[in-house]
A and B are shown apart, each in its own frame.
Chain A
């Protein structure tokens, strides 16, 4: 059983000129094994920062993040991050991108090849193993990025608006794809988005964050069987509830500016 505990985390950036910018104020959240949690909030609410703190890419300014009871003190193979498009290495082909982490860990060439193939088969990209990122569509690039996250069998996949740059059609397909992958690999997913529909469609639980500095406003469990349909009246109830929250926060964010 794996667990992720975010305990009273704060993050303050040191802006140039000695200015202090408070990105996150007191966020607490606990995520249990196999769960799909969406973090929803207006732009600039510190939700991406929260993911980077969980991934160990940035140190917390206060509080602590624990993975399996251990404090996160740096990048951690148990929790890997998936960014928006363009985070593939353009000079590596699909296969080399996917096994990048294994190479860094010093896995043998044969082992890398075997595990790379295995994951590429599961995400149906074997045919494109030798292609370079610029030869792929946006959706395929994100499938590669997800395959790259899966290859090391992490306990947590931290996704930072991974589908935000995709067109509507591709995004719908990718959401389906992610759900299939998730049910197959049993990783726990922390998914940052600013799209309400996406959060309700995918997550077991939606965490609503406030405008900057980010705090947790509300946690809503999405009690709908999968596959979910956006046209379902119950789906709409969640949408309405979350929309009112988001509207208020967006207005508040505008006032602060």
Chain B
């Protein structure tokens, strides 16, 4: 674990070193691209607070707000999609009625839902959660239906021969069998969801790390912009690591070995 973290950190240390060197030697304009030493110092000097008055917030709160939005949206989207996918798969009529609609909605990028979210939920957390939810829900529903179809028929037959009723087969065999595959899709779509949250924060939501970047632009403060960009990267990386952990430690099994 520690070795993996070190291995991931080393290339970044090299990038930062090069960046600092370039700034110190004057190879690039530090007023536009301040190096980490500059914007981290800026963050410490401003007491990890950005913005003024109503727009003011602390950086840790901004990070938590963004992370909460994306994790809550992914969580709700995952649960709802697995439930929908399984329920729809249980009936041919339901599949025929629902799947064409889902297939039409799935290609819509999460970002495209932002205006609808703001109209329906106003400015606030529900909009961000809605955007992430909608961004993953339709896709994951399709992926659940596909996963249900690819469940090894021997597992189903085994359960049936040991006395499982049809509903028990859904609960005890098909449900656990599809989870890893759907979760893999969730992880693949996390980045799109993360971008959607940031975009939503940039166009109107109060606080969040997306807001830091926009504040930086409004205040012509390159330190704030670079700080925001770096926080976005680090936070996204951390949430992805969390998803990877869930995938490896909790939903580790594969349908076929």
Report B120-159 CB contacts with A as 1/0, cut-off 8 Å. 0000000000000000000000000000000010110111
Query: What is the minimal beta-carbon distance from B245 to any residue of chain A, in angstroms?
Result: 17
Distance A152 CA – B157 CA, assembled complex (angstroms): 17
Instruction: Specify which of A57, A86, A105 is in contact with B157 (CB 8 Å cutoff).
Output: A57
Distance A55 CA – B163 CA, assembled complex (angstroms): 11
Q: Verify if A83 is at the interface (C-beta below 8 Å from B).
A: yes
Which residues of chain B have C-beta atoms less than 8 A from A104's C-beta? 159, 162-165, 168, 172
Instruction: Specify which of A55, A100, A134 is in contact with B159 (CB 8 Å cutoff).
Output: A100
Decide if A152 touches B162 in the complex (CB within 8 Å): yes
Decide if A86 touches B168 in the complex (CB within 8 Å): no
Q: Are A81 and B158 CB-contacts (below 8 A) given A91-B176, A104-B168, A134-B253? A: yes
Which residues of chain B have C-beta atoms less than 8 A from A105's C-beta? 163
Distance A80 CA – B161 CA, assembled complex (angstroms): 5
Which residues of chain A have C-beta atoms less than 8 A from B158's C-beta? 81, 83, 87, 89
Which residues of chain B have C-beta atoms less than 8 A from A56's C-beta? 161
Q: Verify if B25 is at the interface (C-beta below 8 Å from A).
A: no
Query: What is the minimal beta-carbon distance from B53 to any residue of chain A, in angstroms?
Result: 53
Which residues of chain A have C-beta atoms less than 8 A from B254's C-beta? 90
Decide if B160 touches A75 in the complex (CB within 8 Å): yes
Instruction: Specify which of B152, B157, B162, B177 is in contact with A101 (CB 8 Å cutoff).
Output: B162
Report A198-216 CB contacts with B as 1/0, cut-off 8 Å. 0000000000000000000
Q: Are A87 and B162 CB-contacts (below 8 A) given A104-B168, A104-B172, A134-B257? A: no
Which residues of chain B have C-beta atoms less than 8 A from A103's C-beta? 172
Residue of B152, B159, B162 most packed against chain A (CB within 10 A): B162
Report A49-72 CB contacts with B as 1/0, cut-off 8 Å. 000100111000000000000000
Interface of chain B: mostly helix, strand, loop or mixed: helix
How many positions in chain A have a CB within 8 Å of any CB in the partner chain?
25
Query: What is the minimal beta-carbon distance from A89 to any residue of chain B, in angstroms?
Result: 6
Q: Verify if A77 is at the interface (C-beta below 8 Å from B).
A: yes
Report B206-241 CB contacts with A as 1/0, cut-off 8 Å. 000000000000000000000000000000000000
Which residues of chain A have C-beta atoms less than 8 A from B173's C-beta? 89
Which residues of chain A have C-beta atoms less than 8 A from B161's C-beta? 55-57, 75, 79-81
Q: Are A86 and B159 CB-contacts (below 8 A) given A91-B176, A104-B172, A134-B257? A: no
Q: Are A77 and B163 CB-contacts (below 8 A) given A86-B154, A89-B176, A104-B168? A: yes
Q: Are A148 and B162 CB-contacts (below 8 A) given A86-B257, A134-B257? A: yes
Distance A148 CA – B257 CA, assembled complex (angstroms): 20
Which residues of chain A have C-beta atoms less than 8 A from B159's C-beta? 100, 104
Distance A52 CA – B160 CA, assembled complex (angstroms): 11
Distance A77 CA – B168 CA, assembled complex (angstroms): 15
Decide if A86 touches B256 in the complex (CB within 8 Å): yes
Which residues of chain A have C-beta atoms less than 8 A from B157's C-beta? 52, 55, 57, 81, 83, 87
Query: What is the minimal beta-carbon distance from B200 to any residue of chain A, in angstroms?
Result: 36
Query: What is the minimal beta-carbon distance from B171 to any residue of chain A, in angstroms?
Result: 10
Residue of B152, B154, B168 most packed against chain A (CB within 10 A): B154
Which residues of chain B have C-beta atoms less than 8 A from A81's C-beta? 157-158, 161
Which residues of chain A have C-beta atoms less than 8 A from B256's C-beta? 86
Which residues of chain A have C-beta atoms less than 8 A from B154's C-beta? 83-84, 86-87
Decide if A86 touches B163 in the complex (CB within 8 Å): no
Which residues of chain A have C-beta atoms less than 8 A from B255's C-beta? 90
Residues 134-190 (chain A) with a chain B CB within 8 angstroms: 134, 148, 152
Decide if A90 touches B257 in the complex (CB within 8 Å): yes
Query: What is the minimal beta-carbon distance from A122 to any residue of chain B, in angstroms?
Result: 18
Q: Which residues of B contact A (CB under 8 A)?
A: 152, 154-155, 157-165, 168, 172-173, 176-177, 253-257
Q: Can you spell out 28 A-B residue pairs with CB atoms less than 8 angstroms apart? A: A56-B161, A57-B157, A57-B161, A77-B163, A79-B161, A80-B162, A81-B161, A83-B157, A86-B154, A86-B257, A87-B152, A87-B155, A87-B157, A89-B158, A89-B173, A90-B255, A90-B257, A100-B162, A100-B164, A101-B163, A103-B172, A104-B162, A104-B163, A104-B164, A104-B165, A104-B172, A134-B253, A152-B163
Complex A-B, nearest 8 residue pairs according to Cβ-Cβ distance, in ascending order: A101-B162, A90-B253, A81-B161, A104-B164, A87-B154, A91-B253, A91-B176, A104-B163
Q: Which residues of A contact B (CB under 8 A)?
A: 52, 55-57, 75, 77, 79-81, 83-84, 86-87, 89-91, 100-101, 103-105, 132, 134, 148, 152
Beyond the given pairs A52-B157, A104-B159, A105-B163, 8 more chain A to chain B contacts, judged by CB atoms under 8 angstroms and listed by A's residue number, are A55-B157, A56-B161, A80-B161, A81-B157, A90-B253, A101-B162, A104-B172, A132-B253
